[in-house]
Amino acid sequence: MTGVFPSLVTNGQSGTKTTTIPQWTRNTKRRYRSLNSWLSAQRGVGCQLLRVDLTSLNNNSLKLTLAFKALRRKVEKTFHTKINYYKIETSEGNGVLHMVWAVNSDRAAWIPQKWLSDTWQEITGARIVYIKRIRSGGHHTQRVSRYLVTQYLAGTHHESSIVRVSYSWWRDNLPLSKGWSAMFRYCKNSFTKNYNSLSSPFRQALTMKNLISGWTSLLTTGWWKFDGGAFHLSGDCKSIYLNQAGAMTLIFPTWKQLLK
């Protein structure tokens, strides 16, 4: 997916690092966790990930949203695949969409940049687009999510240009916010400061790093097994169950098995 027309993004992708790091607020960290959670779940299903940017010639946000819907339908019809997405819309220029697309396909996802540019120009009149495959592996997706958050969501200047941040939750069937909140509430009394071995399912005090690692495992594989029990996803992917010690013989399903 090499460039045919000038790209919006020339650095900070899965193989490079950003040069400036604005101050991250609590809201920035929340968005970073949300994006990382979404990426982990998409990798768990086996999706191929693409970085996509789309420009516009009109500063009407509604028209840009409708144009993207039209593009997504054309992509899915032409390439016979379904596109899940995480979208950051900013007011740069006349409006820009910075996205990650997730393609669930047994074949290598291939959307030529020229086709994307020509199709986007037919819909909006704007021809400058960017598309690049994200290499597999958690460290590559973390670099991309850090880049997106640092470049477009962190700092006063960037936050003031945000129009909206959204993802295809109705397609993904992923309760990211509710799932994290529920698990955090359950685990908060097991952190080092409040740890009580008699009331905690964890046999050792929990750290935030442990919790994030466990949450990533839950999203990537469908379960988080720890010393004392396990969390696993329900069959409808809308709930998270906790199994105490003694239920360790359960066969935990993967995302692919759950979403079939």
Query: Which residues, at least 6 apart from 201, have a Cβ–Cβ distance to it below 8 Å?
Result: 190, 226, 228, 229, 242, 244
Higher pLDDT, 54 or 8: 54
CA 130 centroid distance within chain: 18
Which of 90, 216, 213, 100 lies closest to 147, judged by CA? 100
pLDDT at position 241 is 56
Residue 205 in tokens: 């005090």
Q: Is the pLDDT of residue 13 over 70?
A: no
Determine how β-strand 223-226 pairs with β-strand 162-167. Answer: unpaired
Q: How confident is the model at residue 7 (pLDDT cuts 50, 70, 90)?
A: very low
pLDDT at position 201 is 72
The answer to whether the beta carbons of residues 253 and 230 sit under 8 Å apart is: no
Which of 227, 233, 220, 221 lies closest to 248, judged by CA? 227
Query: Which letter does DSSP use for residue 125 in this model?
Result: S
Q: How confident is the model at residue 108 (pLDDT cuts 50, 70, 90)?
A: confident
Q: How far apart are CA 95 and CA 128, in angstroms?
A: 12
Q: Domains of the chain by range and CATH?
A: 26-172 (3.30.70.1910), 176-259 (no CATH)
pLDDT at position 240 is 55
Using one digit for the tens of pLDDT, what is the confidence trace for 137-177? 767 888 888 888 888 877 655 667 888 889 887 776 666 77
Q: What is the average pLDDT score of the chain?
A: 77
Using one digit for the tens of pLDDT, what is the confidence trace for 21-80? 567 788 888 888 889 889 988 888 888 999 999 999 887 878 999 999 999 999 999 999
Average pLDDT over residues 116-127: 94
Percentage of residues in the chain having pLDDT higher than 90: 24
Residue 179 in tokens: 């799932």
Q: Is the pLDDT of residue 251 over 50?
A: no
